[in-house]
Structure 1
Amino acid sequence: MTSRTDPHQEIDGDVYVWPRHLASTTGTGDPALAPLLALGWDLRYDDDANVFVSAPDRRVRLGYLPEGEDDGLWRINAYKDSFGPPAWGVCFNDRVPTEFVTAFTTVLATAYEQGPDAYLARPVSGTDGHDPFLAVVPLLKQGWEIDRPRWGVFAVQAPDGHAGMEFTTGDLDPEAELTTREARWQLWAGTSIDRPVWYATASTDTPVALLTAVTECVADPAPLPRWREATSSYIKGMAQLTPVRPPGPPAPTPLDVQRSVFSRRPAALPPASVPRWSTTSRPALPGPRR
């Protein structure tokens, strides 16, 4: 179990948490907002310090709502008509690992640049690239097992039993999908879906590429850095915490090696301190005997 973090990059934390779905939030939304703000999206605040980010054409909107009405910290909606109802909606609650939200917004930024055909692409079963069950594949590749928790629900569960993803079949209420946990997709971590440590939901028409961005990040076997003091006892009881080791010395460069070789060479011999013999020199006289 090793981290894929650059060993010489500053690590924001003193422990690694594994499996990463038990890491919880970092407590800051900046990394997840950055991919959208890099495109020049509009950023606004309200009096309660909630943050609202909108695409230039208002077809995609994000709310970061620490002072919202419920625990839905992140709400992202996309629209076919900027004045109509959302075509799809995604919610991440206040304890979702920030890296998972960042994975979503990063791919969302790319899809928006590609145009409506990308960020409004509806999932269609049996089609290349748009089959909704493609979003589950990254989890299955990491040993998640297929589960049947109840009628009308397809689910997969993490090997440790502390995370799962559910897909609800049949007709759903479009409004409830956007405002409650009764959505087409639900991803969660904890001891059960009824009392999760964190959860994320996605409505029926959420593009498969966006869902897959999240599941790929969740399935990544590398642990996530966190501060031990900020890790709840609930998480500590389920996750493995490994101290973050300070970075080792950098690998020597060819110039360093060359300098090291020269430093080990003996110094040049000093000039002789005794006179050299010549044809005019006489041997020294013997000293007096004792």
Structure 2
Amino acid sequence: MSERMWHLTAADTAPAPVLRALLNHLADTDTWETAPGSSITDKTVTEATRPLTDAGWKHTVDGRWIRWETPQKDAGVQFDAFAAQNPGHYLPTWTLWAGQNPNRPTWAIHASTYTPAALLSHLTGELAEGIGTRQPTKRVPQSAPALPPQTPHPPPAPRRR
């Protein structure tokens, strides 16, 4: 049995449009372009995050992480350079998230080192377009329709023996 080339995990709270985009991309394209053992280059990171930069997201470097976040800081992508250079570890190299912050997300998708850059670019594009950050609309419970007024039932007639 061979080792898997790459893996991706999604929280059960990941929005349906993001998961649909993921599944559609997997079905429509060849996702095997990244050879196992090949290192992640600047070009790979640039390709994977181009939709974020095109959308005006800024990136910051914090130790081993490079983070791209929305101006509201309610969604982002985190790249772990340590995990990228040590693919034998089971740390996610990429984390796409929405919520409070990357450590307390409402939902997250984690991707391994050799996840194809084209797939990551597709997912970051969905995130940059706001599809993964939209809050579900809360349904305001409507009050039940009023029942028609009922006429009081007359009391039963007393029985005589």
Asked whether the two chains share a fold, i.e. TM above 0.5, the reply is yes
Question: Pick from 9, 16, 28: which aligns with 1:110?
Answer: 28
Is 1:132 the counterpart of 2:45 in the alignment? Answer: yes
Question: Structure 1 pair 226/153, CA: closer, same or farther in 2 (3 Å)?
Answer: closer
Does the 8 Å contact 2:58/2:68 carry over to 1? yes
> Which residues of structure 1 form unaligned runs of 5+?
1-82, 112-117, 177-181, 231-290
3-state SS of the aligned residue for 1:143?
Answer: coil
Distance 1:89 1:162 in 2: 25
> Which residues of structure 2 form unaligned runs of 5+?
141-161
Task: Give 1:120's aligned residue.
Answer: 32
Question: Structure 1 pair 87/143, CA: closer, same or farther in 2 (3 Å)?
Answer: same
Task: Give 2:150's aligned residue.
Answer: none
> How many pairs are equivalent?
133
Distance 2:106 2:119 in 1: 22
In the TM superposition, what is the alpha-carbon distance from 1:173 to its structure 2 partner?
5.0
Distance 1:125 1:175 in 2: 18
Task: Give 2:118's aligned residue.
Answer: 209
Task: Give 1:229's aligned residue.
Answer: 139
| TM-superposition CA deviations, 1:211-251 (whole Å, max 9, x none) | 11111111115785844139xxxxxxxxxxxxxxxxxxxxx
| TM-superposition CA deviations, 1:164-207 (whole Å, max 9, x none) | 2111113335362xxxxx21101111122211111111000011
Does the 8 Å contact 1:107/1:209 carry over to 2? no
Task: Give 2:152's aligned residue.
Answer: none
Q: Rg: which structure is higher?
A: 1
Task: Give 2:57's aligned residue.
Answer: 144
Letter in structure 1 aligned against 2:72: D
RMSD (CA atoms) = 2.4
Report percent identity of matched pairs: 25
In the TM superposition, what is the alpha-carbon distance from 1:89 to its structure 2 partner?
0.2
In the TM superposition, what is the alpha-carbon distance from 1:133 to its structure 2 partner?
2.2
Task: Give 1:169's aligned residue.
Answer: 81
Is 1:155 the counterpart of 2:67 in the alignment? Answer: yes
Task: Give 2:144's aligned residue.
Answer: none
TM-score, normalised to structure 2, is 0.72
